[in-house]
Amino acid sequence: EAQVTQNPRYLITVTGKKLTVTCSQNMNHEYMSWYRQDPGLGLRQIYYSMNVEVTDKGDVPEGYKVSRKEKRNFPLILESPSPNQTSLYFCASSDRGYYNEQFFGPGTRLTVL
């Protein structure tokens, strides 16, 4: 089944404790992206990657890191999480093409205390 998977789905952590949210897709998509969703604000792009070893900042990259060493994986790293990073996070992937329809993962709900 073609899908985007994220782990963990739920995470409660404390300020300053490094964490990684994994994202994997099995559709051989070149493009992957991370978003955060907060009430009343809609989804905002954190980072995106157009291909292996190619990443770029989205609209809200501060406090986040990413890496794209393999085509299928695009982990999101929070080196020192803070309470304002409490949010719902989505990973998405798409293939090249005019419409480049994005397929979203199920989401990761992160709470930073």
Contact 36, 48 (CB under 8 A): no
Among 20-28, 40-48, 64-72, 75-83, which window interacts with other proteins (CB under 8 A)? 40-48
Q: Which of 18, 41, 53, 80 binds other proteins (CB under 8 A)?
A: 41
Report the candidate in 88, 107, 86 with the shortest Cα–Cα distance to residue 9: 107
Q: Is 43 in the site for other proteins (CB under 8 A)?
A: yes
62 vs 101, beta carbon nearer other proteins: 101
Among 14-22, 61-69, 77-85, 104-112, which window interacts with other proteins (CB under 8 A)? 104-112
Among 12-20, 60-68, 70-78, 88-96, which window interacts with other proteins (CB under 8 A)? 88-96
**In the complex, minimum distance from the CB of residue 100 to other proteins, in angstroms, rounded to a whole number:** 5
Distance CA(7)–CA(21), nearest Å, equals 6
How does strand 10-13 pair with strand 108-112? parallel
Which amino acid appears at position 78 of this protein? L
Distance CA(83)–CA(76), nearest Å, equals 17
